[in-house]
Each structure stands twice: as C-alpha cells, then as structure tokens.
Structure 1
Amino acid sequence: MNINFYSLGAAEEVTGSKHVLEIDGKSYLIDCGAFQGSRAEADRKNRNFGIAADRIDSAILTHGHFDHCGLFPLLAKQGYKGNIYATPATRDIASLIMMDSANIQARDAEYLRKQAHKKGEKFEWTPLYEEKDAIQATSQMVGVSYNRPMLIGDGIDLEFYDAGHILGSAMAYITVKKDGREVRILASGDLGRKEKPIIRDPDRPPAPDYIILESTYGDRLHENADNAMERLAEIAKRTVAAKGKILIPAFAIERTQELVYYFHMLVDEGIIPEIPIYVDSPMATNATTIFQIHPECYSEEIKDAFIKHHKNPFGFNSLHFTTSVQESKDLNDMKGPLIIISADGMCEAGRIQHHLIHNIGDPNTTVLCVGYMAQNTLGRRIRNKEGEVKIHGQWFQRRAAVEEINAFSAHADYSEAISWLKSLDCSRLKRIFMVHGEPKAQAAFKQHLASAGFSDVDVVKYGNTYELK
C-alpha cells in the first residue's frame, strides 16, 4: 500500500483549498476551492489546477464555502465525471454558491466588457465557468450523512464528522485498508468552534494516524463572545446617534445568519433599539431557507426553538431581505440609521462593492469586518484602514470608520484548535500536516503545537509530496 499526500492550493496561503491523497496510483481530491486575492492572481491560479481531471478517481467536499467548493464546476467543465461526496446540507449550500459564482462572473464579464469598450480597449477575459457547469457539478454530488461510512474506492472508507464550522461542514475521516494494513487520515476541512449559535460543536472522530489541519488563525486568539456582543451594541448605538450606516461584508452562509441572530438577541433584550437591517444578498436569502430544511445540523438550542416552539431565530420585524437589483440600489439613497449585510465577505465581488462605492467616503458610515480577509483583497485593505482603495477600477477616499470583531469567526483560533486536538485519542497519531494558513500564522501555530506536545508537524508546501507510511 502506497499513500502520498500533496496540496494544489491553500499551501502556505488561505483560500483555494485543493488537496490530493494518492493511494496506489489513484487520486482522491479533498476540496476544490477557488483562490481569492487580486483579480489577476486569482484568475491565473484558478485556471491552473495542477492535475488533469481524468486522473481524479473521486472527490470529497468538506463544506460549502467558495474557497473549498468554488472550482468544482471548472473541474466538471474540464471533464471530471466522478462522484463528489458531501453532506446533504453542504451539497445544497455548494450548489447555491457555485451558481451564484457563475452568475457573478457573467455579470462581471459584461460590466468589464462595457468599461473596456468605453476606453477603446481590447477585452478578452472569459468566465471560469457558466451556470451549466455549476449544474453539472451539483449533479455529481453524492449526499452522505454524518457518521455513515461510505466506500469511495477499493478498501477506502469515508466517514463525515461535524466540523462545527458552518451548516453541513465536515471533517473527512478516511480509512485505507489494504494488504493487512490500516491507515487512518483525518482532513479537518475548516475547523469550527465550541458554543457557536445555530450549529453543533466540532465532533471528536476516532484515533487518526495523520491529520490534515487548517491553520487560518494559528497566531491569534479570538475575542470573548460577550465582549463582542458589547462592541456590536456600542457600534449600533453610535450609528443610531449619527444617523449613519453600518456596512457588514459577510459571507452569505453562516455569518449572515449568525449576525441576524445576534442583532435579534440585542433588540429582544432591549440593549439596542430596532434598526432597519437589510440582508442584501439573494444568496443569503436562499441560504436562510437552506438552514430551515437542515435541522440535523442544529445545536440543541436552535433545534428546540425551531421544532418545539416554532420560533424563527433568523427573523424579526426590523429585518428585510432585498430581492431585486433595484431594491439593492435603493439602499444607497436611504437615510440612516440602517444596517446592510451584504456578500462577498472579502469584498472581492457582489453587491457589497456597490455599497462601498456609495458609502465609503461618508464619515457616518462604519464598515464592520467580522470575518477573515485574505491577503491582497479589498476587504483586507479596508480592514487595514488604508486611506484610499480601488473599487471597479476607480479610487475612493476612505472616510468611513472601520471596526473589526473577530469573535464571530467560524474558524478555531490556536487555543481552540489545540484543545480540540487534545480531546482526540492521539495514541496512533504520527504526523500533522498544516494547510490553509498564511506563513506567519503557521509558524506561530507550529510553535504553539510543539508547546502542547504535538512536535511532528509539517507545514505543507505547494509542490512537495509527503509519504504516509
């Protein structure tokens, strides 16, 4: 039995997760995510897979975020015909994400073509894929519930355990049994956190031999959730006093639903007044519907609210979902106070860019960053409080306030990740392979792991192959 592991994305970087297990010459892909960064770099990386589609025997999707599922339509377009294994909730979310991406690319192509025409420039860029490719990728997804082993190859079992990251997120536990040997590989996907609202805590799978571990926040500790709620309330009160706006770039999946839940709590408890909240993302609206049809993923508190008491934790009187482009445009003419939650979470695409164009120069606006912003993204530049930012090819002065609350992150910080590792049976553990993190975070995380007794750790490098014995 010969097992090798290598990475085609999210090696010493965040976003673009694509990892390969090669077992006796057959390749099994874990995630096929899109890289997010500057437009030119992202386009270059996303068009170059590093592996031919016909070499992949089957694929696994850990969860529905764009940086983990976003290139499955391109893989299907390039001829991949095999199965894509995912939990039922992940299949539904990924379908939404991939279709939305195809639509955004089509709209971007049309917009950029018009801009080039105005300037008399040649325009040759084409979208990575179209709606039909997203539909094809969805048709290849096989729903596998948590804790239900599935044979995905000769002597190869896959079992999903809840990762506690977003709805449907999973750790992929792969058991290879051949020639009288057994090798157990645990791919964490994106590891979540305990006691988050809506979804369950991360599971504790059986003893692994190898762990492929994400490291996004390997150098950071998250804020206390209670303190974060206080800060959220303070920002809301300040906005009401200034009759301003809060712009929240948020991923349509999980973060948007959590923020609605938190604002609901603050209003319910009389801590803040009712402020009109607009979820300006058709995908977020559809995602909220997906949440309602997957109670198998809920924490006991949410399950109790939905099923026993029929209360909707995601909706209240001051909450509005926009449904049309015109409704989205109308938000920019509205007077505050109001809150706009809009995708994309890194500000690289979608309606949030248009809201920033209209409001980033207003000192009564607050841009609230509540999630990870990758290097070279518009979101990172705003989070870094740069005085001038470029949006749609134009420069804008940033006069808006910028706030960051990282307690709402769906990623475990280094302390939470180590606590989870210590909760596992590590009697068989031979090595940890660190992926999905920037070099600074990974260097710090490796030191934290060593201090906790986990010294056999490799920071996975793009192009390197690692043998699993």
Structure 2
Amino acid sequence: MKIAFHGAARAVTGSKHLITLSNGTQILLDCGMFQGMGEITDKLNGRFGFHPSSVNYMILSHAHIDHCGLLPRLVAEGFTGTIYSTPATMDLARILLLDSAKIQMQDAEYSNRTLREGEDIEEALYTEDDVIKTLSQFKIIDYNEDYEIDNRITLRFTDAGHVVGSAAVHLTILDEGKETKITFSGDVGRYSDLLLKSPQTFPQADYILLESTYGDSLHKDLEPIQDRLLEIINHTCMVKKGKVIIPAFSVGRTQELLYALNGLELKAKLPDIAFYVDSPLSIQATQVLKNHPEVYNNGVKETLKVDDDIFAFKGLKFIQSIEESKSLNNDTRPCVIISASGMAEGGRIKHHIRNNISNQKNTILMVGYCDPNSLGGRLLAGDRSVQIFKDDYTVVADVESIRSMSAHGDYEDLLHFISCQDPEQVKQVFLVHGEYDVQQKFAQRIIDKGFKHVAIPEYHQEYEL
C-alpha cells in the first residue's frame, strides 16, 4: 500500500492525498483547490498528478474550497466513484462549489475584458453543470458510524471542530492480509472555538496525516476577539469616520464575526453604524449552520436561551445584488463591510479593497490565515504597494489583524488532538497543510511528545505504508 501527497504538501492549500492498495484500488482524501499561491496557482490547479478516472473512492473531510474545490474538475476529467462526506459537509459543498463555478466564470470574464496584448484568455476550471454532476455522486455518512465502503475498507468520521460538518477521517484497510488504520485530520479546530464543539478523540491509528497550519503559533496569548474588534471599529468608524473592510471566508469566519458582533450588541457596546455582509454565499452558509445546531458548543447554547438569532443584530444588512454591492462604494458614511474571500483572492472583497485601500480613514482588517503570496498575505506582510486586477495600488489605509480569529487549532490544540494516541503504536506521522518552516518546528514538538517518526512530504512525494 502506498500514499502520495498531491497537494497541501509543504503548503497550506490544495489538499489531495492518494492511497493506493496493492490491488490498484485508489482512495483520494480531499480534492482541494490551490489558492493564493501567486503566479503558479493556475498551473497547480491545472494538473492533478494522477489520473482521476483511476480513483475508486473519494473521501471529503470538509467543505472549504482548499479541500473540495477541485471535485468538479476531478469528475469532469473522469472520476465516476462515490464521494463520502458528513451531511453538513454536503450541504456546504453544494453552495460553495456552485459559488466557486460562478465566481470563476465572472472573474474570467472580467479579466478577459481587460486582456492585454500577448496574454492568454482566462478560462474557468469548471462549470455549474460540472458541479451538479459532482453533487449526484455524494453519499453522506454520519459522525461515529463505521461504514463499510467495500470488504477491504471501513470509514469512520469524527468531529474535527473546524467548521460545521468538518471531520477527521479514519480508515481501516485490509490489504494483503494486513489491517492498517489511517487517520487524516482534515483541518483541526480549536478547543476554545467561539461556536463549535471541540474536536473528538479518535481510535488508535497506525499512520496519521496531521494538518500543521499553525504548528508554531499559540492563539491563547492574544487579546479577546470582541475587545479587539470593538477597538478597531471604534477607532476607524467613530474617530476617523472611515470604513472597516474585512475579508472573511463565507463559511466559519463570517459566522464567528457575526456572533462576536451580536455579543457586543447584547452587552450594549456595538456602535450605531451600518454593518454589511456583502456575500450571498455567506447568507446561505449561515443558514446551513443554523440548520445544524448539534455542532454548537455549550457557550452558544447558553446564548440561545436569551437570543434566538445569534447571527443578527441592529444595523446588520445582507447584500445580495451586484448593484447593491457597487452602491457601497459611493456611500461615504462610516460602516463595516464583511465580504469573501478570506485571503482576498477572489469575489467582491477585491473590489472593496481596491476602492478603499487608498484612503487613510479606512482600515482593512484581516481575521485569519493568508498564504504569503495572496493579496491578504501581502497586506499582512506590510507591502506598501499591491496589485489588484492587474493594477498597482498604494496601501494608504491601515491594515490590522486579529490572528486569534482562526478556525485552525494552534500547536497546543494540534498536540491535544493527537494526545489520545499511543505514540509507540503510530508508525508514522505525516505533516500536511502547513508552510515548511512551520512544519519543521512542529515536527520537533511532536517528537518531543514521544512520536518517533515524523515526515514532511514534498509535493507529489509517495511513501510505502
């Protein structure tokens, strides 16, 4: 049996891990899109490194685009097997993938309208029809259910606490008369998440694929989210009379922001200004979360006793149409605009940043991880000039961040996640979903906990299990 790492290898995005049994059966763990990797992003998304038609089963840990975003392309290129996920993950994947197809087509059209001599025509990776076909291949599996995929492969999902529906994947595989247990963490959430339950413990594994996005960071030492959020809003909107522009993923981060702002209103601290969520997808994603209250932690359940809508508050408006979105540019009143994507690489947020980045009254607030090559990453790095839609803009607005607003666990959370394992029985830990320098530091922390073998796979690297 072999495993090959075709994405999120010494990088954070593009999750794809391919298990091949001795009889040729192939199991793909995630099929994510590369995001924010600069000029090589399109090239990375254009080739899988394996033949989609040869994959028998596909298992999806959760619905973030860097984990599910290339599923329609996989299907379009010949994958005809079953896609296994939790119920909420399928609900989210439906809206995210349809939105992804739409955004790709819109961005391609916009770029092609401003095509310069010698530049190639931009094409979308897939269409809405590809998405619809992909959704027909899903099969939902509940948490903590042992599901027999075939007589050699058994699957179990446990709650990873990352976003609604997110799961750690546990496979028991019988190959050449030997039973092997493989765990893929997906993305691991936090044990003090604003909204969700903590990650579950899981059965003993022989091999663990572990995400490592924040493998060298601690979140707990940072100031409380509500306090920092209020400070930035008050300074920008009430003192400078400007706008706060917040790039935020439609799933997870946007709902956390709304919950935090709702909490400020419950404490009578929220300023009397307009708050806009300019992302139709966020409206749908918020409804999915409302439809799955079983994922809420005890703190949220207590809040629900005094507030029956934890994602709504005075002054909040959801923006649907493009016309409404454009009209925000002409409104000079102080406000807060939350829009996707979180790395500021696509969607309406790029337009909002472009229209507000050159005004010193405004603040661009980053609230999560950004790949260093993404627009968000360049802003976080302090670049004074950035390119947006092929034009250069001087960064005059303030750039702030709330690093503790992450759906990813820090290194203590990740170590907690694997603490249910006997290190002596784990043959290998593979670190995925992280930058290489971070992974090297995190590898030593894992070794210090008694795990003897830790590998950091390279892109397309294959290992014998």
**Equivalent residue number for residue 430 of structure 2:** 433
Query: Does structure 1 conserve the Cα–Cα contact (< 8 Å) formed by 2:6 and 2:461?
Result: no
**Equivalent residue number for residue 267 of structure 1:** 265
Q: Give the Cα separation in 2 of the matches to 1:426 and 1:440.
A: 23
Q: Give the Cα separation in 2 of the matches to 1:284 and 1:331.
A: 18
Counterparts in 2 of 1:11-410, with a 5 A limit?
11-24=9-22, 25-38=24-37, 40-116=39-115, 119=116, 123-178=120-175, 181-224=178-221, 226-239=223-236, 240-303=238-301, 311-410=308-407
1:33-81 CA-to-partner distances (Å, cap 9, x unmatched) read 0001255411111010011111101000000101000000000111111
SS in 2 for 1:408: coil
Q: CA RMSD in A?
A: 1.7
Q: Give the Cα separation in 2 of the matches to 1:122 and 1:248.
A: 32
Q: Give the Cα separation in 2 of the matches to 1:414 and 1:104.
A: 34
Query: Does structure 2 conserve the Cα–Cα contact (< 8 Å) formed by 1:223 and 1:406?
Result: no
Q: Give, as a single letter, the amino acid of the residue that structure 1 aligns with 2:449.
A: A
Query: Does structure 1 conserve the Cα–Cα contact (< 8 Å) formed by 2:145 and 2:156?
Result: yes
Q: CA offset at residue 418 of structure 1?
A: 1.0
Q: Give the Cα separation in 2 of the matches to 1:84 and 1:51.
A: 17
SS in 1 for 2:224: helix
TM-score for the superposition, normalised by structure 1 = 0.95
Q: Give the Cα separation in 1 of the matches to 2:19 and 2:335.
A: 48
Q: 1:124 to 1:226 in 2, by over 3 A?
A: closer
Q: CA offset at residue 179 of structure 1?
A: 5.4
Q: Give the Cα separation in 1 of the matches to 2:112 and 2:33.
A: 23
Q: Give, as a single letter, the amino acid of the residue that structure 2 aligns with 1:153.
A: D
Q: Give the Cα separation in 1 of the matches to 2:249 and 2:261.
A: 17
Q: Give, as a single letter, the amino acid of the residue that structure 2 aligns with 1:458.
A: A
Q: Give the Cα separation in 2 of the matches to 1:154 and 1:34.
A: 31
Q: CA offset at residue 299 of structure 1?
A: 2.1
Q: Give, as a single letter, the amino acid of the residue that structure 2 aligns with 1:105.
A: Q
Query: Does structure 1 conserve the Cα–Cα contact (< 8 Å) formed by 2:49 and 2:460?
Result: no
Q: Give the Cα separation in 2 of the matches to 1:323 and 1:463.
A: 40
SS in 2 for 1:407: coil
Q: Give, as a single letter, the amino acid of the residue that structure 2 aligns with 1:62.
A: S
Q: CA offset at residue 275 of structure 1?
A: 3.0
**Equivalent residue number for residue 6 of structure 2:** 8
1:442 paired with 2:429, answer no
Q: Give the Cα separation in 2 of the matches to 1:251 and 1:105.
A: 16
Percent identical among aligned pairs is: 41
Q: Give the Cα separation in 1 of the matches to 2:83 and 2:102.
A: 22
Q: Give the Cα separation in 1 of the matches to 2:448 and 2:62.
A: 30
Q: CA offset at residue 324 of structure 1?
A: 0.4
Q: Give the Cα separation in 2 of the matches to 1:247 and 1:403.
A: 10
Q: CA offset at residue 121 of structure 1?
A: 5.3
SS in 1 for 2:2: strand
Q: CA offset at residue 193 of structure 1?
A: 0.6
Q: Give the Cα separation in 2 of the matches to 1:349 and 1:91.
A: 23
Runs of 4+ with deviation above 6 angstroms: none
Q: CA offset at residue 227 of structure 1?
A: 3.0
Q: CA offset at residue 209 of structure 1?
A: 1.1
In terms of mean alpha carbon deviation, does 224-233 or 318-327 score higher?
224-233
Q: Give the Cα separation in 2 of the matches to 1:85 and 1:463.
A: 23
Query: Does structure 2 conserve the Cα–Cα contact (< 8 Å) formed by 1:207 and 1:426?
Result: no
Q: CA offset at residue 310 of structure 1?
A: 6.7
Q: Give the Cα separation in 2 of the matches to 1:443 and 1:38.
A: 20
Q: CA offset at residue 120 of structure 1?
A: 5.3
Q: Give, as a single letter, the amino acid of the residue that structure 2 aligns with 1:16.
A: G
Q: Give the Cα separation in 2 of the matches to 1:417 and 1:51.
A: 30
Q: 1:134 to 1:303 in 2, by over 3 A?
A: farther
Q: Give the Cα separation in 2 of the matches to 1:357 and 1:287.
A: 25
Q: Give the Cα separation in 2 of the matches to 1:341 and 1:168.
A: 23
1:87-125 CA-to-partner distances (Å, cap 9, x unmatched) read 111111111111111111111121112112xx4556432
Query: Does structure 2 conserve the Cα–Cα contact (< 8 Å) formed by 1:207 and 1:427?
Result: no
1:183-229 CA-to-partner distances (Å, cap 9, x unmatched) read 11110001111121221110001111111001111111114465333
Query: Does structure 2 conserve the Cα–Cα contact (< 8 Å) formed by 1:109 and 1:127?
Result: yes
Q: Give the Cα separation in 2 of the matches to 1:337 and 1:122.
A: 39
**Equivalent residue number for residue 419 of structure 2:** 422
1:143-195 CA-to-partner distances (Å, cap 9, x unmatched) read 11111111123321010000000110000010113555321111000111112
Query: Does structure 2 conserve the Cα–Cα contact (< 8 Å) formed by 1:208 and 1:426?
Result: no
Query: Does structure 1 conserve the Cα–Cα contact (< 8 Å) formed by 2:423 and 2:451?
Result: no
Q: 1:6 to 1:262 in 2, by over 3 A?
A: same
Q: Give the Cα separation in 2 of the matches to 1:229 and 1:393.
A: 36
Q: 1:120 to 1:21 in 2, by over 3 A?
A: closer
Q: Give the Cα separation in 1 of the matches to 2:332 and 2:258.
A: 21
Query: Does structure 1 conserve the Cα–Cα contact (< 8 Å) formed by 2:226 and 2:261?
Result: no
Q: Give the Cα separation in 2 of the matches to 1:376 and 1:72.
A: 24
Q: CA offset at residue 424 of structure 1?
A: 3.6
Match 2:409 to one of 394, 409, 412: 412
Q: Give the Cα separation in 1 of the matches to 2:347 and 2:228.
A: 27
SS in 1 for 2:273: coil
TM-score for the superposition, normalised by structure 2 = 0.96
Query: Does structure 1 conserve the Cα–Cα contact (< 8 Å) formed by 2:27 and 2:58?
Result: yes
Query: Does structure 2 conserve the Cα–Cα contact (< 8 Å) formed by 1:206 and 1:425?
Result: no
Q: Give the Cα separation in 1 of the matches to 2:450 and 2:260.
A: 37
